[in-house]
Amino acid sequence: MEWERADLEARLCRALDISGKAVELFAENGYVDSELPENSFGADKVIAETAMLIYIASAAGSANVTRRVDEIAQLLLPHARSARMRLDMALHPALCLDFAFPHILLSELGYRDCAVDDFLKSCLSSRARHGHERPPFATAEKLWVEQLLTGEQPDAAWRHCLRNTVLNRGLDILGGQRDDAYALTHLVMYCTDFGFRAGKFPRKPALILDEAASLLAKCLDAEDYDLAGEVVLAWPLTATPWPAAAAFGFRVLARVEDAVGVLPGGTTRVDRLDRLQGPEKNRYAFATAYHTAYVTGLLCAASLRPRRAPPVEMIGPPFNARLLDRLVDRIECDQGHWQAEFMKLTRSEQEALGLFLLDIVIAQKCRKRDYAAVSELLVMADKYQSARSPLCGQAAELLERLAAYARTTQPRLIASN
Amino acid sequence: MTNEELVKRFIDSKAVNFDTIGKLVTELGPELSASKTHINMVLIGRPCIIACMMPAAEAATLVGQLHGTGTAEALAKATG
């Protein structure tokens, strides 16, 4: 049984409504946070992200969504093709695709402007066009935008670029930085053109999705719902049947959104929200919450496409009941809204999530630096032939590195077990 | 090498008191956190169209606190 379509559509419409307001508030001058400058962002960010949201939403196949997509496109058009945007393209030809990104997406949606196209082409013909250094995932992003612009299929340069990304090399799930994880989630978006094409990946998709599942376990433990939402997107974007872990992730996100009213990101500060009044309060609430609302919208838009809705029930391969009980006994209860949802599941659903639960508990123990418990979990998982996930492999390597570290710095720590 | 093989290799090596290592790493925690922040600050500057790099975490305190305290209400009011 699939997630109810009307519910997915309502969540998407809510995200689209928020995006319309975000454009009104920030598409002119962005947002400046005087107390926490890292929360500040430019107008181009909200314009680009909103264009992306309506791009993916355009295929949802719903009149309510289509009407909103058109309304928001009309709001975006003057900003996406503003004199300032065109001047930026003229001044910075190596970044002109970045500035033109909303224009290109709007063109894909049928809102064309030949004059801007011609101007963009003139900027792209500049000698300085490639004069900007980008990490591999940002290069992949640029190549994807070029494909949208030219209509050309992914070529050798694209394949070469992907070979240097985490899609091919594998993600450092336990020790990586947050933007490494975003590199993975964004690359899936580019490879699949937000679900509009079958993605061609540098590794077997199953291996990438296994890493995504382990990453999701870490995100749910950390209550990082912004990132968790982007990770879950990997399944509907690749049109891969939802495994129990992804279906469970979707359910947790939906329940958290229902509880709060909007899927919470990590930047809204309740005390500050309490202090602010009137328009400033609205601006602060939108500036710090809109992005996670967009992630909900992306996820529901992708899930609304035919045969991509998440299942309501968690279904998976059998899992050893004794191991499941031992894992449940070891759950850290200090954080994680997933726990309440997990406890509501039937026993067979919990068993379907056995491997995922193992990943979560390992992530918890790593967070608490309880490496003795990680070691015990790996021994336990090996005994039941369940140490199969990328997170299990990376946890084993982490312990090996720590053991090597101990040998080099504190030889007395070495003790035979 | 598969993930299962990595785990087996680790188990076969059994040579270290991980309780003590955990305490040691925790003692070094503040320094590690500081260097992590530095790395983040450098990387946030990377140009990228889809900029999802706003600081994470503490959502723990948001769920249950945000409800009824303003964000959802502010968004709802503004979006009609």
The whole-angstrom distance between A384's CA and the closest CA on chain B is 11
- The pLDDT tens digits of the residues spanning A361-386 come to 999 999 999 999 999 999 999 999 99
- Tell whether the model's pLDDT for residue B38 goes beyond 80: no
Q: How far apart are CA A185 and CA A216, in angstroms?
A: 11
Domain boundaries, chain B: 3-79
Diameter over CA atoms, chain B? 63
User: Does the CB of B22 have a partner CB in chain A at under 8 Å?
Assistant: yes
Diameter over CA atoms, chain A? 74
Q: Which amino acid is at A1?
A: M
Mutate to test the interface with A, among B4, B12, B16, B32 (most CBs of A within 10 A): B16
Contact criterion met (CB < 8 Å) for B60 and A335:
yes
- The pLDDT tens digits of the residues spanning A75-108 come to 999 999 999 999 999 999 999 999 999 999 999 9
Residue (of A123, A377, A396) closest to B5 by Cα position = A396
List, in sequence order, the alpha helices (H) in A304-353: 321-329, 338-344, 347-352
Domain boundaries, chain A: 5-303, 321-413
Of the given ranges (A40-54, A180-194, A227-241, A277-291), which has the lowest mean pLDDT? A277-291
Residue B3, Cβ neighbours under 10 Å: how many?
A: 21
Q: How far apart are CA A223 and CA A218, in angstroms?
A: 9
Residue A162, Cβ neighbours under 10 Å: how many?
A: 25
- The pLDDT tens digits of the residues spanning A184-213 come to 999 999 999 999 999 899 999 999 999 999
Contact criterion met (CB < 8 Å) for B76 and A261:
yes
Choose among A21, A45, A274: nearest Cβ to B70.
A274
Q: Which CATH class is domain A5-303?
A: mainly alpha
| C-alpha pair distances (Å), A201 with each of A171, A187, A205, A235, A258 | 15, 9, 7, 14, 35
The confidence score (pLDDT) of residue B75 equals 65
User: Does the CB of B67 have a partner CB in chain A at under 8 Å?
Assistant: yes
Q: Residue written as tokens 């935008």?
A: A145
Asked whether A101 and A83 are in contact (CB, 8 A), the reply is: no
